[in-house]
Amino acid sequence: MVELFKHDLILSFAKDKRVLHIGACDYPYHLVRAEQGELLHQKLDQVAAELIGIDNNRQAINDLRRFGIDNIYFGDIEKDIYDIDFENLNFDIILLPDVIEHLTNPGLALLNIKRRFMEDNTKLIITTPNVFKWHNLRTIITGNEVVHPDHVFWPSYKTMKTLFERVGLKIEFFSYVMYGEYSKITKKGQLFYKLFYKNIPHFMPTLFFVLTLQDNKESVT
């Protein structure tokens, strides 16, 4: 059984699949994580049958080449421009982890992904922060909002579901999940997860969606 941790679930879905990883560099944490072998893209490379990454930060792409990571290319899913020709490439899994909350036009980006990369059997995996996570209670109590300076909205299950439906995507699987990997947290953290978060899952910090095309394959807008 895979515990409800973001990287554990992502890697289980990606195993032996053809994967497109969007936002693959994980800037600005890319150098530290690559040095430690903890970059998600490095982990994906160990389990996926085929892996291609795209990112809109050219400097970060070049930075990662020193670690032997040479399968990440420039791409911008909002502008729909890429340095790699995708015409003859097909993917089982499209991965968009912790990216959508940074985008100026998330609906447009999803439409571009859908039209360019998705087929009937393609799964689009999206992870994004949960507005109702446990730590946000302090915002309610103190009125002091703590949020990443580059995030443009706070996602919830219902608002994300509405967005997906508007661009012609349907939810095949959903779960609230924790950060990272279960094996990497302390014994105390594992115990707290089992006693607290597994019983009140909507307090977990991350929303995890697996999406497929709607039956009509068209936007409902």
Residue 102 placed within a domain: yes
* 219 domain-assigned: no
Mean pLDDT of 188-210: 91
Task: Return the residue matching tokens 């697996």.
Answer: 210
Please report the pLDDT score of residue 48 as a whole number.
99
> Residues 159-182: what's their mean pLDDT?
96
Q: Which of the four pLDDT bands, split at 50, 70 and 90, describes residue 219?
A: very low
Any domain includes 1: no
Residue 147 falls within a domain, yes or no?
yes
Number of domains in the chain: 1
For residue 1, pLDDT over 80 is answered with no
Going by pLDDT thresholds of 50, 70 and 90, the confidence category of residue 3 is confident
> Whole-prediction pTM value?
0.92
Is 218 part of any domain? Answer: no
- Write the CATH number for 25: 3.40.50.150
Orientation angle between helical segments 6-14 and 40-47, nearest 10 degrees? 30
Residue 148 covered by a domain: yes
Residue 32 has pLDDT above 70, yes or no: yes
Q: How confident is the model at residue 4 (pLDDT cuts 50, 70, 90)?
A: very high
pLDDT at 138: 80
In a domain, 220, yes or no: no
- The range of the structural domain enclosing residue 145 comes to 6-213
Whether residue 96 contacts residue 76, with contact meaning beta carbons closer than 8 Å, is answered with no
- Helices vs strands, H then E, count in the chain: 8, 8
Cα 151-28-155 angle, rounded to 5 deg: 20
Give tens-digit pLDDT for 92-128.
999 999 999 999 999 999 999 999 999 999 999 999 9
Identify the CA nearest to 128 among candidates 6, 34, 2, 3. Answer: 6
The per-residue pLDDT for range 59-88, each reduced to its tens digit, is 999 999 999 999 999 999 999 999 999 999
pLDDT, position 221 = 44
Averaged pLDDT score across all residues of the chain = 93
Q: pLDDT-based confidence at 220, cuts 50/70/90?
A: very low
Q: How far apart are CA 36 and CA 47, in angstroms?
A: 18
Residue 193 predicted with pLDDT over 50: yes
Q: Looking at the predicted structure, is the pLDDT value of residue 24 above 50?
A: yes
- Is residue 163 scored above 90 in pLDDT? yes
- Confidence band (pLDDT; 50, 70, 90) for 203? very high
Residue 91 lies inside a defined structural domain of this protein: yes
Q: How confident is the model at residue 149 (pLDDT cuts 50, 70, 90)?
A: confident
Q: Are 53 and 83 in contact (CB under 8 A)?
A: no
- Find the helix or strand (DSSP H, E) in which 18 lies: strand 18-22
